[in-house]
Amino acid sequence: MTDEQREDLSGQILKPADLVGYQTGSVVSRMMVFKKSGTITLFAFDQGEGLSEHTAPYDAIVMILEGEARITIEGEPFTLTAGEMMIMPAEKPHAVEAVSRFKMMLTMIHA
């Protein structure tokens, strides 16, 4: 998608949980901000769905909007619920799993 095709949501009052919907058996994502300095992406995970272990070159801040998630960082599991957040450090293996359906906002800060 080119910059011209990206939806500009700046200057609007937004409810992040309303901007991405659940789909049965899927993980749905919607990129809200894409800049050289970082990105903000919304995700909706159906129960039991997830992202397998991987690394990222940047710190990633996860904010749980609704539901319950299990985030594993370097093999250590953490359970997060709505209103909680976690910083996943750059270059550390991490994974995400839906304990129940959940939505999250992922902010990546590019260094």
- Residue 104 covered by a domain: yes
Nearest Cα neighbor of 20 from 43, 40, 41 is 43
Q: For every one of its 111 residues, what pLDDT tens digit does the chain have, with 9 covering 90 and above?
A: 444 456 778 899 999 999 999 999 999 999 999 899 999 999 999 999 999 999 999 999 999 999 999 999 999 999 999 999 999 999 999 999 999 999 999 999 987
**61 to each of 17, 54, 110, how far by Cα in Å?**
16, 15, 12
- 62: CATH: 2.60.120.10
Position 14 in a domain: no
Q: What 3-state DSSP class applies to 54?
A: strand
Residue 17 placed within a domain = no
Q: Supply the pTM of this predicted model.
A: 0.90
What does DSSP assign to residue 16? G
Inside any domain, residue 96: yes
